Structure 1
Amino acid sequence: SLLMVYAKGAFPEQYAPSVFEKYTTSVTVGKKEVTLNLYDTAGQEDYDRLRPLSYQNTNVVLICYDVMNPTSYDNVAAKWYPEVNHFCRGVPLVLIGCKTDLRKDKEQLRKLRASKQEPITYSQGEAACKEIKAEIYLECSAKCRENIENVFKEATTIALSAMKKAKCHRKRKVCSVL
C-alpha cells in the first residue's frame, strides 16, 4: 500500500498481496528531480527464492513492518535484515513502521490485547533501527497519507548520498607501483 499510495496516489481498499510490483515516479530533492523505480516484493515464504532477483542494482532498501503486528516487527531482525544484508551488502537501509493510524483503532487494539500483545512503539522502532544499522527510522500511514512524501524524500536523499560516496571511492582506486 505504501508504494501504491506514493506512486499512484490511491489507497487500495482491498488487500492484494504483491508478488512483484514495479512503480515508477519522481521526487524532488533540493533542486534535483530524481526518477524512482520502486519495487514491492512478496514477503510470503513461497517467494523466498524469487525475491533476491529483485535486489540487483538497488540504491536503498526500505524494510517495512506493521506497527500493529508484533510478528511483522520481529521479522525485521529475524528475516528481512539477514536477507537484505546478504543480497544488498553495503546498500543503505531505511526502517519504516507502517499502519500507524491503527494504533488509535479501538477494534485493532482490542484484538491485539486479546492475544496479550501491544502495538509496537516508536521507541521500539528506533531500537530495531539501531539493531539492523538502518540509516533512519520513520513511521507512516498509507491509508491516511501521513508522512508518505517524507519517507521517499528521506530514502532518496540517503540513496543519493551513498551513490555519491561510492563514486568518490571508485575514483580513489589507484594502483601505485613503486
Structure 2
Amino acid sequence: MSKANEIKLVVIGDGAVGKTSLLSVLKGEPFPERYVPTVFDNYALDVTHNNKPYRLHIWDTAGQDEFDRLRPLSYQDAKVILICFELDKRASFSNLSDRWIAEVNYFCKEVKMILVGCKADLREQSNESVSDEEALAFAKQHGGIPYIATSARTGLNVDKVFPTAIDITSIKKKGCELI
C-alpha cells in the first residue's frame, strides 16, 4: 500500500460524547453498552473506498480537561480531524468553537475537519438537543466543513464517516505539522 493511501485520523471532542462508541462500531465491533473513559488509543484499520485500499491510522483521544496538554501530541501528521459532539446535549455543541475548533486551528491550522454529531438516536428524548440545521450552519460558518449526524447505537450514518474522511483528503490542503 502506498504512503498516499495512508491517512492519520484524529478523533476529538468532549468526554463521553460517543467518540469511542462510534469508532467501535466503525471497526465492526458491537455497540458498547457501558461507558469506559478513553485516555488515548490508536490503531490501524484497513478499508476499501472506490475500489482502492486505504490504511486509516485512527487516534481516539480523551476529551477531559486533564488531558488538554497531552492531546495535541496526537495531531502530528494528522490529515483529518473528526470533531465529535453530542446531538442530545447542547453543552458539547457550545464547546465546538471556543475549545475544539480553536485547538485544531492553533495546533494544525491546515488540517481538514469533519463535524460529527453523535447520539442522534437520543435527540428526541432531550430538551437541549441540537438540530441538523444548527450543526450545518455551524459547519458552514467554519469553512464549510462536512457535517454528519450519527448514532453508533442504531448505525445511522456510521458508514459515511470513513468515506467522507478519505474523500476530503483529496482536497489540496496540508496535514498537521507541529513545529
Give the TM bin, normalised by the shorter chain: 0.7 to 0.9
What is the one-letter code of the residue matched to 2:67? Y
Q: 1:35 to 1:84 in 2, by over 3 A?
A: same
Q: Does 1:150 align with 2:170?
A: no
Q: Please give the alpha-carbon distance, in whole angstroms, between the structure 1 residues aligned to 2:109 and 2:151.
A: 28
Alpha-carbon displacement from aligned partner over 1:69-97 (angstroms, at most 9, x marks no partner): 11100111110000011111111110011
Change (3 A) 1:75 1:166: closer
Q: What SS class does the counterpart of residue 11 from structure 1 fall into?
A: coil
Q: Which range moved further: 92-101 or 150-159?
A: 150-159
Distance of aligned partners of 1:49 and 1:29 in 2 relative to their CA distance in 1, 3 Å threshold = same
Task: Choose between structure 1 and 2 for higher RCO, CA contacts under 8 A separated by at least 6 residues.
Answer: 2
What value does the CA root-mean-square deviation take over the aligned residues? 1.5
CA 1:48/1:29 → structure 2, altered by over 3 Å: closer, same or farther? same
Within the candidate set 43, 51, 58, 2:78 is matched to 58
Q: What amino acid is aligned across from residue 135 of structure 1 in structure 2? A: I
Superposition deviation, residue 152 in structure 1: 1.1
Residue 52 of structure 2 corresponds to residue 42 of structure 1 = no
TM-score (norm 1): 0.81
Higher strand fraction: Structure 1 or Structure 2? 2
The aligned counterpart of 1:128 is: 138
In structure 2, how many angstroms separate the alpha carbons of the residues matched to 1:134 and 1:49?
A: 28
Unaligned 5+ runs, structure 2: 1-20, 175-179
Q: In the TM superposition, what whole-angstrom CA distance separates every residue of 1:95-121 from its partner, at most 9, and x where no partner exists?
A: 01110011234xxx2xxx3xxxx3100
Query: TM-score, normalising length from structure 2?
Result: 0.81
In structure 1, list runs of 5 or more residues that go unmatched. Answer: 168-178
CA displacement at 1:48 relative to structure 2: 0.4
Query: For the pair shown, which has the larger CA radius of gyration, 1 or 2?
Result: 1
- Structure with the bigger percentage of helix: 1
Report the 3-state secondary structure (helix = DSSP H, G, I; strand = E; otherwise coil) of the residue aligned with 2:42: strand
Residue-pair matches, total = 154
Aligned twin of 1:2: 22
Which segment drifts farther, 74-83 or 96-105? Answer: 96-105
In 2, Cα distance between equivalents of 1:4 and 1:137: 20
CA contact (8 A) 1:7 1:23 kept: no
Give percent identity, aligned residues only: 42
